Structure 1
Amino acid sequence: MAKYSGLSKEVGHQTRNKTGVLLVNLGTPEAPTTAAVRTYLAEFLADPRVVEIPRLIWLMILHGIILRVRPAKSAALYQQIWTENGSPLMDISKKQAKALGERLSAQGYDVPVGLAMRYGQPAIEPVMKQMQAQGVDKFVILPLYPQYSATTTGSVFDAIAKALSKWRYIPSLHFIHTYHDNPDFIDALADSIQQDFDKHGQPKKLLLSYHGMPERNLLLGDPYYCFCMKTTKLVAQKLGLKESDYVTSFQSRFGKAKWLQPYTDATLEAMPAKGDDDVAVVCPAFSADCLETLEEIAEENREVFEEAGGQKYRYIAALNDNPKHIDMMANLVKPYL
């Protein structure tokens, strides 16, 4: 502590010497209600990283049409997956942060682990402020998006930069922007798939379904598509799969623009006619199960597949708080602690 002659109290900037890890995921409504979903979607869909339509035009569409119609429909879907612990994404993310803190502590690291959401609560800036109050002046930021995209990881960086633009004392930062080909990630993903194969048998087709984005983003230089294909290739190699054993697709398209193809629902609909009536689906772009996996893949797309004549369909859970997933996170951040 130091005492400045013009002050009656001591100042302690030199006591800030801790490293902290901040996990960031997408976010979730606070409740499965129309009002809560509207609040969440208003923040999410207003992000210029997410929707790149000219700002004024998009805001007119968003507030004039989308936020009047979509929240009620989405709330009904959230109600189907909501648990006694609330949002699955939030519940799992909290377990991940707790497990990572315990793993690092067991390995001798005195490192606070914070959890924030890009949209909704807990918001990024308040969590960073709380960690700063704990003495953290070096942040290791881990966005929980395995494959970098400007719409996800890039947006997290924007939010952190905006928050820190208000700070007097800027901390040191290390930003982990992608881990799509990290060996520990590939091992954890391949192991979870192999465990499913061991329990249920290898399906005729393994479908690796990634979150979609407009094709225009790829053409403008976003590497997300290439990173997804790299993840698929490495997982298939790890499992010893032939090219005929698996397929990559993209889900969750929105609006009328052309998105990354092939589309997951169209792929599943076409499979039975080709003799692929036994399929397992895994979603390597999701670090935690959420609406897009638990409802869209596990339920909605199951119906698409079965109505087209499919016989066997199963969803392989996201890595969530799987010990190998937590080990991977620990190994990702340890070089910067």
Structure 2
Amino acid sequence: MPYFHTEPALPYDKQNKTAVLLLNLGTPDAPTTAAVKPYLRDFLSDKRVVELPSWLWQPVLRGLVLTLRPKKSAHGYEKIWFKEGSPLAVYTERQAAALAARLPDVIVRHAMTYGNPSVADVMADFKAQGVGRLLVVPLYPQYAASSTGAALDKVFQNLLKQRNQMSVRTVSRFYDDAGYIAAMKQHIETYWAQHGRGDKLMLSFHGIPQKSHDDGDPYPDECRHTARLLADALGLAEQDYIVSFQSRFGRAKWVEPSTQDLLDKLPAQGVNKLDVFCPGFTADCLETLEEIALTGREQFHAAGGKAYSYIPCLNDNAAWLSALADLVKRNLQGWD
């Protein structure tokens, strides 16, 4: 098998189209143990996600983890699965379609770091269409090696196989983008106008191991920066909101405070009505709809809380889609 991919049978001067690739984490193809297992195997085998030597981690992964976790995860997916498919897949596809409508002269597609549609398949399709200039936008506002880094790795790995490499630009983060902040502000205020407002707003971000931050991953700092900008936009005082980190995995110490720990403690501190929003997720998924919206509500009520409101992610919010289009246009400048 040749090392490099065979190039499409297109003249060199016809390989100059511009494309945008939106990247998200990924999802199993179905809410079943059989579908979840290979998805988790790929996800948890990525050294960006689990930074342990293969000789140490792989036996644990292929033994204990892939024996117990797929069934539990599948049960979680069952509770949130849409008629059209996985929420993350549905919303990411809608975001790509909305962006394409706003950029009629650019080819727009989405792909997943793990699962379908794969980066390799979409990149091959770009090649066949004559794409020579590619803007890659991981849909993670805050950079983390385990999310944005892993997504971009897939693109770079594909480039290594291209005989005639595309010109590539990347947007590695947009945690302080004015349009993104304004879209979240409008989205939250609209929710409050319709449903009322709690005693405190929890801004829950996905967590990372503390060692990753100690080794230079800027993710928690960017999360807190986003939270400050959003709180200022909403006119919140310091006591009106709290930043937390969710989705701990394994025994290592993760960045704090923990969302789950706070859900147990806040009612005893006088917070009876809690609103929760997840600024680090641009589309609802297992970690927001099951972990926060469902399990989080049960945990808060069990601890004595009276009212719990999960504010959905931006998803296909019009203000967010316009902000995304503006972000892309700025990064496409000079490729007109």
TM-score, normalised via structure 1 length: 0.94
2:6 corresponds in structure 1 to none
Could you tell me which residue of structure 2 aligns to residue 308 of structure 1?
303
Equivalent residue, structure 2, for 1:263: 258
Aligned-partner Cα distance in 1 for 2:196–2:121? 47
- Paired with 1:319 and 1:161, the residues of 2 have a C-alpha distance of 28
Q: Which moved more, 1:217-226 or 1:121-130?
A: 121-130
The correspondence of residues 246-325 of structure 1 with structure 2, limited to 5 A, is 246-325=241-320
> Residue 15 of structure 1 corresponds to which residue in structure 2?
14
Aligned-partner Cα distance in 2 for 1:114–1:199: 34
Q: Residue 197 in 1 paired to residue 196 in 2?
A: no
Distance 1:204 1:265 in 2: 18
Please report how far the alpha carbon of residue 11 of structure 1 lies from its aligned counterpart in structure 2 after TM superposition: 5.4
What is the match of residue 6 of structure 1?
none
Match of 2:114 in 1: 119
Q: Name the residue aligned to 2:4.
A: none
Partner AA of 2:149 in structure 1: G
Q: Distance in 2 between matches of 1:16 and 1:328?
A: 29
**Does the alignment pair 1:131 with 2:126?**
yes
Aligned residue type for 1:197: W
Structure 2 residue aligned with 1:35:
34
Q: 1:225 aligns with which of 207, 220, 226?
A: 220
- 1:202 Cα deviation from its structure 2 partner: 2.6
209-218 vs 198-207, greater mean Cα deviation: 198-207
CA-CA distance at 1:301 after TM superposition: 0.8
1:36-76 deviation line (CA, Å, top 9, x unaligned):
10010000000000000122101111011100111011111
Deviation at 1:318, TM superposition (A): 0.3
For residues 74-108 of structure 1, give each alpha carbon's deviation from its aligned partner in whole angstroms, at most 9, with x where no partner exists. Answer: 11111111121011110111111001100122xxx
- The 1:278–1:34 alpha-carbon spacing in structure 2 relative to 1, beyond 3 Å, is same
Please point out which of 138, 147, 156 is paired with 2:151: 156
Instruction: Extract unaligned runs of 5+ from structure 1.
Output: 1-9
Shift of residue 203 of structure 1?
1.4
Residue 175 of structure 1 is matched in structure 2 by 170
1:15-164 alignment, distance < 5 Å: 15-105=14-104, 110-164=105-159
* Match of residue 7 from structure 1: none
Q: In structure 2, how many angstroms separate the alpha carbons of the residues matched to 1:251 and 1:211?
A: 5
In our comparison, the structure showing a higher alpha carbon Rg is 1
Secondary structure of the structure 2 residue equivalent to 1:314: strand
1:175-218 Cα distance to aligned partner (Å, 9 max, x none): 00000000000001111111122222331100000001101100
Runs of 4+ aligned structure 1 residues displaced above 3 Å come to none
Change (3 A) 1:11 1:104: closer
The alignment of Structure 1 onto Structure 2 pairs a total of residues equal to 324
Distance in 1 (CA, whole Å) between partners of 2:122 and 2:201 is 39
SS in 2 for 1:152: helix
Query: 1:64, 1:96 → 2: CA distance?
Result: 37
Cα-to-partner distance string for 1:234-255 (whole Å, 9 max, x where unaligned): 0000011000000000000011
Structure 1 vs Structure 2: percent identity of aligned residues? 47
In structure 2, how many angstroms separate the alpha carbons of the residues matched to 1:117 and 1:200?
34
Q: Determine helix, strand or coil for the equivalent of 1:139.
A: strand
Describe the SS at the equivalent of 2:141.
coil
- 3-state DSSP of counterpart to 2:19: strand
| Paired residue secondary structure (1:271) | helix
CA distance in 1, matches of 2:152, 2:305: 42
Q: CA deviation at 1:134?
A: 1.4
Distance (whole Å) between structure 1 residues aligned to residue 266 and residue 230 of structure 2: 21
SS at match of 1:21: strand
Corresponding residue SS for 1:279: strand
| Aligned-CA RMSD value | 1.0
